[in-house]
Amino acid sequence: MVGLKIKEIRERNKLSKEYVAIQMEMSLSQYSKIETEHVDLKLSKLDKLVKIIGAKKSELFALDYK
């Protein structure tokens, strides 16, 4: 669920996966695993990621009611 939110926010802010991966100092493959929820993200990496994609941590954990 968090990975999908990260992807949604990244796309909304018109950032490529490649850009975010470079900023995170990781390979595109490693970054893709975050968005597809195949890896657990350490809090320190999460802090860095939310800054890069222009989000707040609370956005990642908010429930969407539609």
CATH number at residue 45: 1.10.260.40
- Cα gap 34→32, rounded to integer Å: 5
Q: Which residue range(s) make up the domain with 13?
A: 2-56
Confidence class for position 4, pLDDT limits 50, 70, 90:
very high
Q: Supply the DSSP symbol for 63.
A: P
In a domain, 64, yes or no: no
Number of domains in the chain: 1
- Cα gap 14→12, rounded to integer Å: 5
In a domain, 35, yes or no: yes
The answer on pLDDT for 66 being more than 70 is: no
Contact partners, residue 48, CB within 8 Å, separation at least 6? 23, 24
- Cα gap 6→29, rounded to integer Å: 15
Q: Look at residue 64 in the predicted model and tell me its pLDDT.
A: 65
Q: Look at residue 41 in the predicted model and tell me its pLDDT.
A: 86
Q: Look at residue 30 in the predicted model and tell me its pLDDT.
A: 95
What is the average pLDDT across 41-63?
90
Q: Look at residue 61 in the predicted model and tell me its pLDDT.
A: 83
What is the average pLDDT across 36-62?
91
Residue among 9, 4, 1 nearest 35 (CA): 4
